[in-house]
Structure 1
Amino acid sequence: MCRHIAFVGPEIPLARLLTEPEHCLVRQSWEPRRQRHGTVNADGFGVGWYAEGDPVPARYRRSGPVWGDANFADLARVVRTRAALAAVRDATVFGADGEAAAAPFAAGPWLFSHNGAVRDWPDAAAPLAASLPPAELLSLAASTDSALVWALVQHRLRQGDDLGTALAEPVRELAAAAPGSRLNLLLTDGADIAATAWGDSLWYLSDARAQRTVVASEPYDDDPRWREVPDRTLLTARATRVDLTPLKETSP
């Protein structure tokens, strides 16, 4: 399993989101409070962020634990952004993909993360993998379930689906093909956020007056305004609004 977080709103230093809060993402890498599967997220980390005037996000990713990277605190202290997505990773299956398997995954204006695991990987997901065009399948960033989930989401985005649909349909398809999968997905294009709660915790903090929204695996502080997203739910958000839509399972 993993922990991840996304933010849209007025420009802030990454540190305010990732390193300064009492229960920030860095602390969640070794002491998550609400993680249901796994205990330590030390198999990689990453952050993607948007610079003013540039729709294509930058990324910083590493294959080891975030607490072992002496450069990360400096990066988080000086980089300012209006939108970001970050994650710490607990690998479902150990492999040689290293940094390539660390979220966020990226293409064009999009950043993506998967918190969970596809059950009976890779056999159960093979029919969905086969549905992708060969060029897209050969372009997988890593040989992990998360990379395939991202390929399925990215395929829909490139066909014109909005962020919410691009997450919801692959979740339904994967849940039908591999029952018992955990499919908490997180996606942003720098203006909007979409996320699914499917098998693990998901929370959001929205402040319309401050025009900012944070969506995360778990709260990074004890602010009473945090709200938990019910399981089997699609969340779509802008800086000033959050919508929740129940997700229904489809038959295999």
Structure 2
Amino acid sequence: MCRHIAALGPARPLGGVLVEPEYGLYRQAWAPRRQRHGTVNADGFGVGWYADGDPRPARYRRAGPIWADQSFGDLARVVRSEAVLAAVRDATVAGADDEAAAAPFTADRWLFSHNGVVTGWPGTAVDLAATLPAAELLALEARCDSALVWALLLHRLREGEPLGQALADTVLQVGAAAPGSRLNLLVTDGERIAATAWGEDLWYLKDRPELHVAMASEPYDDDPAWREVPDLTLLIADRNDVLLTPLKEPLA
């Protein structure tokens, strides 16, 4: 499916996280090393970041492959941030949503990405969608499984659920409604990153001079400090600590 990454650290150009590493997200668009589903991530891409003093993230997305966008190179070279979330997309099914279906999705102070698939889409989405108010359904950015998962999570966050609980509850809800779904989710508010490993690979890296913590579909270099996350796990990280908590798999 997709490849994505979120990172916190000292301010640095976006390209330092996404382009410069030997096996960074830019290269993962056409040559991922650990992708088990799909081969090329050319159905869109996006990057979100936080500017100093502004809690709401900025975002740049396009419908085509990242390597074909000549503007992205300039943006990645000059835009600096302490927090970034980015993704390259391999679409679950063909659709007409173009860049609206490309992560990161955003609302309020949040950035969100989904690597995986909701099985049986769109048939399995009916019961899930019924749990949302009509106004939130009408506000969906795209008609894809990732956009619905984001809407379910955002609803919980706006209802006041803590980040980790909201993420875990969303994965368990979707997993119960659509067994066999792959639900690796990434979300950040610029100060923390939360993620789930649910049917797809997930890795994290912490405490390098240029980086506090990163969570990614696959390592962007061969540093042995990368740690693979066990399946069915919730991660919560800030600039100091990473906490791993097992998730309870719902009965099929």
Deviation string for 1:106-151 (max 9, x for gaps)?
A: 0010000000000001111211110101100111110000000000
Contact 1:211 1:240 in 2 (8 A): no
SS at match of 1:106: strand
Contact 1:208 1:241 in 2 (8 A): no
**Gapped regions of structure 1 (runs ≥ 5):** none
How much identity, in percent, do the aligned residues show? 69
1:251 Cα shift?
3.4
Does residue 45 in structure 1 map to residue 45 in structure 2? yes
- In structure 2, what is the Cα distance between the partners aligned to 1:162 and 1:16? 31
SS at match of 1:128: helix
- In structure 2, what is the Cα distance between the partners aligned to 1:230 and 1:206? 17
- In structure 2, what is the Cα distance between the partners aligned to 1:5 and 1:210? 16
1:203/1:238 Cα in 2 relative to 1: closer, same or farther (>3 Å)? same
Structure 1 partner of 2:123: 123
Structure 2 partner of 1:184: 184
- In structure 2, what is the Cα distance between the partners aligned to 1:238 and 1:16? 20
Q: TM-score, normalised by structure 1?
A: 0.98
Structure 2 partner of 1:197: 197
**Gapped regions of structure 2 (runs ≥ 5):** none
- In structure 2, what is the Cα distance between the partners aligned to 1:6 and 1:49? 10
Structure 2 partner of 1:213: 213
Question: 1:26 is matched by which residue type in structure 2?
Answer: Y
Q: Which runs of 4+ in 1 moved over 2 A?
A: 208-211
- In structure 2, what is the Cα distance between the partners aligned to 1:204 and 1:115? 15
SS at match of 2:70: coil
RMSD over aligned Cα, in angstroms? 1.1
Question: 1:68 is matched by which residue type in structure 2?
Answer: A
1:209 Cα shift?
6.9
Q: TM-score, normalised by structure 2?
A: 0.98
Does residue 173 in structure 1 map to residue 191 in structure 2? no
Does residue 141 in structure 1 map to residue 151 in structure 2? no
- In structure 1, what is the Cα distance between the partners aligned to 2:96 and 2:43? 11
Structure 2 partner of 1:239: 239
- In structure 2, what is the Cα distance between the partners aligned to 1:208 and 1:165? 28
Contact 2:7 2:211 in 1 (8 A): no
1:210 Cα shift?
6.2
- In structure 2, what is the Cα distance between the partners aligned to 1:116 and 1:210? 29
Contact 2:116 2:200 in 1 (8 A): yes
- In structure 1, what is the Cα distance between the partners aligned to 2:18 and 2:250? 36
- In structure 2, what is the Cα distance between the partners aligned to 1:46 and 1:175? 26
Question: 2:109 is matched by which residue type in structure 1?
Answer: P
Contact 2:203 2:219 in 1 (8 A): yes
1:221/1:209 Cα in 2 relative to 1: closer, same or farther (>3 Å)? closer
SS at match of 2:116: strand
- Matched residue count: 252
Map 1:1-252; keep pairs closer than 5 Å: 1-207=1-207, 212-251=212-251
- In structure 2, what is the Cα distance between the partners aligned to 1:162 and 1:88? 28
- In structure 2, what is the Cα distance between the partners aligned to 1:144 and 1:36? 21
1:161 Cα shift?
1.4
- In structure 2, what is the Cα distance between the partners aligned to 1:87 and 1:209? 24
SS at match of 2:220: coil
